[in-house]
Structure 1
Amino acid sequence: MLLLCMVMVEGRSSPNGGGLNVLDFGAVGNGQTDDSQVFGKIMAPSKKNFHSGTKEWLTFDSVNGLIVNGNGDIDGYGSSWWGSCDNGNECSGRPTALKFNNCNYLQVSGVSITNAQHNHISLSNCADVTIFNIKITAPDNTPNTDGIDISHSTRVQIQNSDIGTGDDCIAINTGCSYINITGINCGPGHGISIGSLGEDHSEGIVEEVHVVGCTFTGTQNGARIKTWQGGSGYVRKVSFKDITLYDSMNPILIDQYYCDDKECKNQTSAVSISDVSFIGFTGTSATEAAVQLLCSKSVGCDGILLDRINITTSHKQSTEDKVFSECINAHGTSSGSNIPNVPCLLH
């Protein structure tokens, strides 16, 4: 195990602009002490002091049994980077603030991560991960500042945390399975999303994702699955349950036409979506289309379940203001008492 006492490492960088090795600053691996304790503030250097091509600011690679805890703040000083996104290509060069790669039996708790340059936390190729009681914060207009971004990982639990950023509170990408998310307060941000998947004809595979007891406040989306046209693979065995909404746009959204390019061509292949349930949604929607099941015309969505849905408009000005549902090639079951009604799923 590795002991990293990270305290007030503010604005430091190596002489050549590259990374710092924690072993040079007193970190030890003695197999006895706690792995990583974060107190005070760790402040990233400004953009000009980062080595060109740096993909991550703080990285843990191939460390099994790692524990990161404490009440400190990891501050990515993202304001020195965000402005470049207005000018195109520079935006893609921003590093992730805290990256865990190939770390099994990982635990992260107590810490705050703020103002990341890009993603706040990224998990890749990890297994048996528990993240709880953390706080992630960035302004709502910051570009692509995902709270927690997960890819190629399994058996991940994220619990009882506050996440408010300029992008997805939690994003679940390809290669993920058995992801359990409980008690998350999300907002601002783009909700809890599976995807995007299938970009550039790639294969996307996600299964066994379960989101329970989460709250969305003023978010751009609530529970979302997004895939590109032209991809392959599947999303299956997914549930969103006991969700509370406060003035959230697009509370329930399956979007198999996702595209953030200026021009996207219609394509027949798609990542298939099946066995997805939305149960126990209550609260208010900032958009009239509270339920959108926009599935591929050629592949479609199967086994969709909506039950105990009670979503009303947050902008009621008259008795005529009501939420509604939209469907394209979606198949499954919806309770007749759901608000809004979802006629495409009624039998």
Structure 2
Amino acid sequence: MAGISPTSLVTTGPGSTNVSLPNSTVNGLTTENDLPVDNATVPWSGFDPAETTHSCSITRESYGVVAAIVAVICFLFGVLYTFFGYRFLKAVLFLTGFLFATVLLYMILEEQGDLLPPEGTLACAVGAGILLGLLSMLLPYFGLILTGFSLGAGVAAAVLVLVEQFIHPPTRWIPAGVFLLFGLIFGILGLKFPKGITIIGTSVIGSAVGLASVDYFLELSRASLYLWDRLMADQSDTLCWYSWLMLALWPAVALLGILVQWKCTGSGVDHRIAFRNRHEQGTHVQQSKAQERRETQQTRYRHLYQARRVRGDVISQNYIQSIQHKLSPAMQSLTALNVEANPEEESTATTMLTQVT
């Protein structure tokens, strides 16, 4: 371009028209990221600089109203999970099943493309989440397995992030197998050590959900999508320093939640009380009713015996009185019976007989 003055020719592409621009204009061109344009690259050439350069500047994005509300709610749930997971075990088991099924099914349907409209995808994901949440809450040991499986999935995600820095998995079966392996291991451990795995699992899940909400407002869930790419074995853009900071805060916040639950909120709480199933409760109720029936029957017999002691047998009294009338006056004086009823005894006997009947 040195032989052309005062303008320079800029080539926009094969088969395109050359544009003549002043040298000062070409030298002053910058991309959207304020990077200088080399080799006469112009914005209208059809080449998007954002495809090769990634901006790490924190900018204010336009957030969706629904997505922002969901992010705030997830942040509150994350705080509940991280610091109060073991104390509110029934509610946490429902939320674990709900979030697990909703997020997994939604991401799978989104990965399939135009299989369903957005409203249909969301409805299917929420419906599956409600069903799995109810199943986890009504079957507590299934909820424990699911909590352990979620913990294993979190550990598998951390392992895949570390492996990605050295080698990229050639197929999706490798990360899927890693997720399944860690999930099954921690799911079985959840049945063996319920309290420990529940505290660790709720802290890890809660910190992940809370930081994912913060990540949405910070960079539109770029770090969260990076973790999803690790599961799908897809290529990802290079993360910025604050994305790595979000990923580094995950184990730190999880460790803080474990300490808080173990020392404060989870202390003195027994999960076996919450796991008392309806069959045991029904058996206890039946035993209580049978005991009450036995006590009532014994009380009725006791009242009847007391009534007979107070008033005596009516037939026996009449028989004795008839014999007295047949005796001589001397014998009647010797065997005289006080047949006049005491008013107090009569009222007591009447009351007892009323209770018996």
Q: TM-score, normalised by structure 1?
A: 0.17
| TM-score using structure 2 length | 0.17
Structure with larger RCO (C-alpha < 8 A, sep 6+):
2
Structure possessing the higher radius of gyration over alpha carbons? 2
The answer to which structure has the higher strand fraction is 1
